[in-house]
Amino acid sequence: MKFCSNCGSTVQLRVPAGDTLLRHTCVSCGSIHYENPKIVVGAIPEWEDRILLCRRAIDPRHGYWTLPAGFMENSETTAQAAARETLEEACARIEVGDMFTLINVPHISQVHIVYRARLLDLDFRPGEESLEVALFSEDEIPWDDIAFRTISLSLRRFFEDRRRGTFRFHEEDITAPPPDTI
């Protein structure tokens, strides 16, 4: 950041009074510009024993499969974000259930939240960010072509819980990326 979004003056990295971290601070008006983690929210849309996945039409990980998910917008709840992302990426309507996973990804300053969800009907199709969408049973999941570790982890926890016959909330941390992946 070079300029203040409030007054247009230059900013400098400083530790503001009462803080412990460097922040972009305006040299003229004194505004402090905080940079905070991004929240990614998605859903595991379920229809009978199958899960709805989207094949990405955008980078990063173009062509790989993922759950419908994306960045949370201002003025929405996490559950609303999960429903919106599912509608945008798969043109699918869901009933959002319980929060299922919360995965901290500090090395990219993100928090990923995934909800369990019930697909309301089979009227789905690729949205602008998807090449295709499809329902997969556990043995059909393209595990080697899942776009993100958080999605793979959420799916694995989902199928483990389903086999046990009870679903619980999972909180985990992914502290460093493996080589050559996101």
Write the pLDDT tens digit of every residue in 109-122: 999 999 999 999 99
Of 150, 65, 83, the residue nearest 119 (C-alpha): 83
| pTM given for the model | 0.90
> Alpha carbon of 138 to those of 135, 155, 163, 180: distances in Å?
10, 9, 11, 26
Please, what are the domains in the chain? 1-35 (2.20.70.10), 38-173 (3.90.79.10)
Strands (E), the chain: 11-14, 23-26, 32-33, 38-47, 50-56, 65-66, 69-71, 94-105, 110-119, 130-136, 170-173
- Rg of the Cα atoms in the chain: 19
Ordered per-residue pLDDT tens for the chain, 182 residues = 999 999 999 999 999 999 999 999 999 999 999 999 999 999 999 999 999 999 999 999 999 999 999 999 999 999 999 999 999 999 999 999 999 999 999 999 999 999 999 999 999 999 999 999 999 999 999 999 999 999 999 999 999 999 999 999 999 999 886 665 54
Give me the pLDDT at residue 175, please: 87
